[in-house]
Amino acid sequence: MNKAININDVSVSIEGRSILENISFGLEEAGIACLLGPSGCGKTTLLRCIAGFEKQHQGEVWIKGVRVSNPTHHLPVEQRQIGMVFQDYALFPHMSVADNITFGLNNQNAKTVKQRLDELVELLSLQKHVNKYPHNLSGGQQQRVALARAMAPRPGVLLLDEPFASLDVELREQIARELRQIIKKDGITTIMVSHNQLEAFAMADVIGVMNEGRLLQWDKAFKLYHEPETSEVANFVGEGVFIPGVVINEKEVKTEIGNIQGVTPHGVALGKKVTVLIRPDDILHDDDSKMTARVKDKAFRGAEFLYTLELETGVRLLSLVPSHHNHPVNEPIGIRLEIDHLVIFPQID
Amino acid sequence: MLVTPDSQAISDAVIYKTNSFVFSKWNSALVVLSLLFSIPLVIVLGSLFFPETEAWSHLADTVLTDYIFNSLMLLIGVAFFSVILGVIPAWLVTMYRFPFSRYLEWALLLPMAMPAYIIAYSYTGMLDVAGPLQTSIREVTGWQYRDYWFPEVRSLGGAITMLSLVLYPYVYLLARAAFIEQSICVLEVSRTLGCNAVDAFRRVALPLARPAIMVGLSLVVMETLADYGTVQYFGVSTFTTGIFRTWFGLGNSMAAAQLSALLLLFVAVFLYLEKRSRRQARFHHTSSRYSNLLQQQLNKGAGLCALTFCALPMILGFIIPVSYLIDMALDTYLHILNKDFYLLLFNSLSLAFATAILALLIALFMAYSNRNRNSSVNRFLVRFVSMGYAIPGTVVAVGVLVPFAWFDNTLDAFLTEHFNISSGLLISGTIVTLIFAYLTRFLAVSINTVEAALGKIKPVMDEVAKTTGMSSGGIIKRIHIPMMRGSLLTALLLVFVDVLKELPATLILRPFNFNTLAVRAYELANEERLAAAAVPALAIVLAGIIPVIMISNSISRSRAGNE
Amino acid sequence: MNKFILITILFVQQFSYAAEVNIYSARKEALIKPLLDEFTEQTGIHVNLVTGEADTLLKRLEVEAKNTPADILLTVDVARLIRAKDLELFQSIDSEVLEKGIPEHYRDSDKQWFGLSLRSRVIIYAPDRVKEEELSSYENLANSKWKNRVCVRSSSNAYNQSLVAAMVANDGVEKTEAWAAALVKNFARDPKGGDRDQIKAVAAGVCDVALVNTYYLAGMLVSSQEDEVAAANKIKLFWPDQDGRGAHMNVSGAGILKPAKHKKEAIQLLEYLANDKAQHWYAEANHEYPINSNIESSAILKSWGKFKADNLNLNLLGKYNTEAVLLMDRAGWK
């Protein structure tokens, strides 16, 4: 229990409907975590449960070594020392930027308040906007004010609910990286909620993938992508296709596009039928290769094309190909496998 | 159309010109309409130019300080209690669940249907020294009048209590609407910043609802200043009783008008200061997202406290006086419920309904003109017109009487001279005059409500609709009206209830053989025949209940996403 | 189109009963309508009625000027009749019936207004706390022995104003003001409520004496509410100043307006209101004294016995009304 946040077997239901089931994870001090999942998966409810807006009927929430809630005891929101940024920022429209930021500092002396305000204004580059009112700010500025307001009382934990949802798509990744720097500079433990994996990759040290009220996997981004524990995770994180295969030895699986070998043993019994995850970057385009597939569809992504390819057997694959290889639809092209991580799941029919 | 080398530029210019012409036509109609309803106010204010030095030095030497002191105390007291009784229950029923909270949502509005003078008569009947309660105290204990202490109903404190009990619903109504519309996120964020529930209310919800509360409060302030029946019956000398005394007792209608003008100036200053104090902060909601308002269930003790606090104003302002009236009416209703009475009922209802519709249409027109062309002149005119609410009905009536009679007499003289036809009094002494006076008094209510509703429709919605090729009429019909329906209904019903209760202007301006429930209740009560007055008084209250409940429902539905 | 509307309006305006008479009345509808209905039944003349406060009706008449539809103004106190006369709203009427039926000092010397019923302002007292011998005149109520024992309604009330105006007419402003100031010191409570409230207050022991109009007391004695009857039975009526000028009298009355379009019917109505039957109705229905003492009054009025009425010229009540209000202001009579 010495992590900054510990969630132990938490289940929540609202009006008789189960929203979260048996969620557990722990987050290190100063770590940034992202709860990732499609809308309705329960990630916001989990965030609100940590904040104290929802009550669980099972399990415990620990923040900084303090048990803030279990089914019978519930520390009120205002005593949990959390900072929260809401999806629409929820700035107080009747207060200036400065008053918004210092809202949570009302019990401290004027000098301390001023000092903290100056720090945050500088950290978030809000110097020009201190005396403005929220309705005069752009979306990005509003977000920074909301963040400054949440950080001002130096909360133990910062919670961000879809912090980028109201921003322009082009800006999201850039702002996410900036935000990460700011939060890292302050060393504050953070949990954010997002349905967008690129934002999650840009922001988080560790990502929890959620679906239908369950936490599927709690891991670093790289591992989620390359070593998903379930096909649901594989499906949600990154692109890819599943093809059938048969285990032929402790590290190798036979598929119709060839034998695929992993680095470490996969632990599945010999002769077992499995499903293999093939990522677009596992399939390389090679004009010299004997294996060919027909282009069925293609999406231009600037530096690369994402080709949808079809083998003669009708199995489809995805492949990322540098964009100077421009092939028309229906043309057969040569492909080659280059798989570092063998990801297999029990056969799905 | 003219064909010229640069026809595109010309046609652009023509379109532009047509637009501005349309606007200016709308605008001049707005100006004319506002000026029309300003006439009574201008007549009152105009009196200031005819000094009545002698009357004023007498007033200043004798009663003026009393008038000012009592009026101010009354104002402060009623404003204070209306806010306490209006805002806190509004917050409790909006945010929490406790026993009967669902019923209290609308029941808290019921005292609105109760005319102030009727609640004053009722409580005096019950609690006065000669009333049943004190009489039985004396009978049971054998005490004499001076042997025990009992609060005096007919006093300044009593007047504050009575007026607060029937006026707090204005604050409740607007505060509740504001709380319902507040983004729950803003409250939640304050909790994460260390505010407990009380702090969140005090530091966030309350300041956010302040504009709405102030609108409600200014209605309360104006109603309080205009009240005559209660303070007169309670023997509290206020500015308003002073106006009547100066007019009736001293026979000096000019000095009386000047007192009204001062009252008007006071209200103008009050409204101006309120407006100015929040000029800086605009209260646009930055959020367009609404999460479901989850009402928190209160535990038994807290729930009981909340129930007590919310039920008290409703019981005191409605249940008790209505029970008393029913008790009185049981003795007399058989003599009173006849054909004549149903005619009264019909008169009251149809007058109230007609006025409410007209007030709504005028308010819509004014609000739209202002939206199309938001000039400071227009805004001033609309503000000015809404001040009629603060003038005692009698003074408004005279302000209406004078110009209408002047118009009729001038027309008559003209027709007689040129055509040898006498038109007599065309509009004076008809229902038209009466409705005009009602509008002068109550336009403020509908204008405030409609403007607030229209303000919530952002221009971008119009623009979206225009891009789909919708005409202006279509936009109003398919977008504005559905969005504003709740507010429009509220505006309609508020005026309806107000007209139903209105007395002094009706008394002065009504045509021959035309009476309303309020007039009948007043005449009987004034003759000190309270038992007989109870039936028409009850009828006013009962006729007001249905619209009041409808108002409450329309507000509950106003929250985005709520069915 | 406009012409059509105009003609329609004119037509509607002219549409009316063959014979009718229009009244602006400060008497409440319940206290005059039965008589008017009776009148219509007898004569076929239709009566149109608007009730209201006398002063607002005066204002309405003033601004409507010569086009006013009203033929008659009815008031409940003489000061307003005189105010109407001063505003030159009335015309002089020659009517033998009225002159014969109404004593001279209860009608205008210029025949502009006529008193139609009498109302007297008297002292009532609680017999268990006050001996009849202690009471005498209105002036006597200023004696310091009545300290904290007097109830009376506000000085805004027309009947108080006319009582004080009568005292000004007799004693002069200075003396009356001193009297008013002393009386205010004797008040048991700030003035509030109507005359019935003063009666109830005496009955409940708030005060020992009060000034009220007689018909309120009578109204309580025959009330359908038991508590009112009980209160009224606890107190007694005292006719003031029987050794001096007599009890203060006011009249409710009427005049015919200058622009009256139905003058003939209006005179007919006034004569009807002055006849014995109508006068008796005033006594029976509202316990007012008939304008002519020869006419039989009601049982309650008879039970109070004969009394000496102040024969002061009523014109003086109008003349000193404003003076009375000013002096009551100065005396602190709220």
Q: What pLDDT does residue B81 have? A: 96
Q: What pLDDT does residue B21 have? A: 43
Q: Residues of B numbered 53-112 whose beta carbons fall under 8 angstroms of chain C's beta carbons: which are they?
A: 58, 61-63, 66
Q: What pLDDT does residue B233 have? A: 84
CA distance A167 to A285: 36
pLDDT digits (tens, 9 = 90+) for A80-124: 888 888 888 888 888 889 988 988 887 788 898 999 999 889 888
Q: What pLDDT does residue B23 have? A: 53
Instruction: List chain B residues with CB under 8 Å of A142.
Output: 286
Instruction: Reduce the DSSP state of residue C75 to 3 states and report it.
Output: strand
Instruction: Reduce the DSSP state of residue C145 to 3 states and report it.
Output: helix
Q: B: neighbours with 3+ CB pairs under 8 Å?
A: A, C
pLDDT class of B558 with cuts at 50, 70, 90: low
> From the list B241, B508, B512, which residue is nearest C56 (CB)?
B508
- Complex ipTM, two decimals? 0.82
Residues A153, B193: C-beta atoms closer than 8 Å: yes
A166 has pLDDT over 70: yes
- Residue B417: Cβ within 10 Å count: 8
CA distance B551 to A322: 66
pLDDT digits (tens, 9 = 90+) for B456-495: 777 777 777 777 777 777 777 777 887 788 788 888 888 9
> From the list C69, C196, C197, which residue is nearest B425 (CB)?
C69
> From the list B186, B196, B280, which residue is nearest A92 (CB)?
B186
Radius of gyration of chain A (CA): 24
Look up residue B224 and give its DSSP letter.
Answer: H
Instruction: Reduce the DSSP state of residue A22 to 3 states and report it.
Output: strand
pLDDT class of A23 with cuts at 50, 70, 90: very high
Do residues A206 and A220 lie in contact, with contact meaning Cβ atoms separated by under 8 Å? yes
B290 has pLDDT over 50: no
Q: What pLDDT does residue C89 have? A: 93
Residues B194, A51: C-beta atoms closer than 8 Å: no
Looking at the complex, report in whole angstroms how far the Cα of residue B349 sits from the nearest Cα belonging to chain C.
Answer: 20
Suggest the residue from B43, B230, B248 to mutate for an interface test with chain C (most C CBs closer than 10 A).
Answer: B248
Q: What pLDDT does residue B15 have? A: 37
pLDDT digits (tens, 9 = 90+) for B4-44: 333 333 333 333 334 444 456 667 778 888 888 888 888 88
Q: What's the pTM?
A: 0.81
Which token pair is B85? Answer: 């009784």
> From the list A53, A142, A150, which residue is nearest B286 (CB)?
A142
Which token pair is B171? Answer: 């604050």
Residue A342, exposed/middle/buried by CB under 10 A (0-12, 13-18, 19+)? buried
Look up residue C257 and give its DSSP letter.
Answer: B
Residues B508, C196: C-beta atoms closer than 8 Å: no
pLDDT digits (tens, 9 = 90+) for A201-255: 888 999 999 998 999 999 998 888 888 888 888 888 888 888 888 888 888 888 8
CA distance C250 to B197: 66
The torsion angles phi and psi of B227, rounded to 5 degrees, stand at -65, 135
Which token pair is C99? Answer: 């002159």
CA distance B107 to B311: 9
B121 has pLDDT over 80: yes
Touch of A by B (3+ CB pairs closer than 8 Å): yes
Q: Which residue of A has its CA nearest to B209?
A: A94
Q: What pLDDT does residue B24 have? A: 66
Instruction: List chain B residues with CB under 8 Å of A53.
Output: 188, 191
- Specify the higher pLDDT residue, B185 or C99: C99
Look up residue B388 and give its DSSP letter.
Answer: G
Instruction: Name the residue type at position C6.
Output: L
CA distance B94 to B92: 5
CB pairs under 8 A between A and B: 94
End-to-end CA distance of chain A: 41
A310 has pLDDT over 60: yes
CB neighbours of B482 closer than 8 A, spacing ≥ 6? Answer: none
Touch of C by A (3+ CB pairs closer than 8 Å): no
Do residues A64 and A1 lie in contact, with contact meaning Cβ atoms separated by under 8 Å? no
Q: What pLDDT does residue B286 have? A: 43
Radius of gyration of chain B (CA): 26
CA distance A342 to A339: 7
Residues of chain C with pLDDT under 50: 1, 6-14
Looking at the complex, report in whole angstroms how far the Cα of residue A233 sits from the nearest Cα belonging to chain B.
Answer: 29
CA distance C261 to A146: 79
pLDDT digits (tens, 9 = 90+) for B202-248: 888 888 888 888 888 888 988 898 888 888 888 888 888 888 888 87
B282 has pLDDT over 70: no
Which token pair is A309? Answer: 């390819």
pLDDT digits (tens, 9 = 90+) for C27-54: 988 888 889 999 999 999 999 999 988 8
Residues B135, C227: C-beta atoms closer than 8 Å: yes
Helix (H) or strand (E) holding A260: strand A258-261
Look up residue C247 and give its DSSP letter.
Answer: B
CB pairs under 8 A between B and C: 164
What's the order of all strands across the beta sheet hosting A32-36?
A82-85, A157-161, A189-194, A32-36, A206-211, A214-219
Average pLDDT over residues A315-333: 88
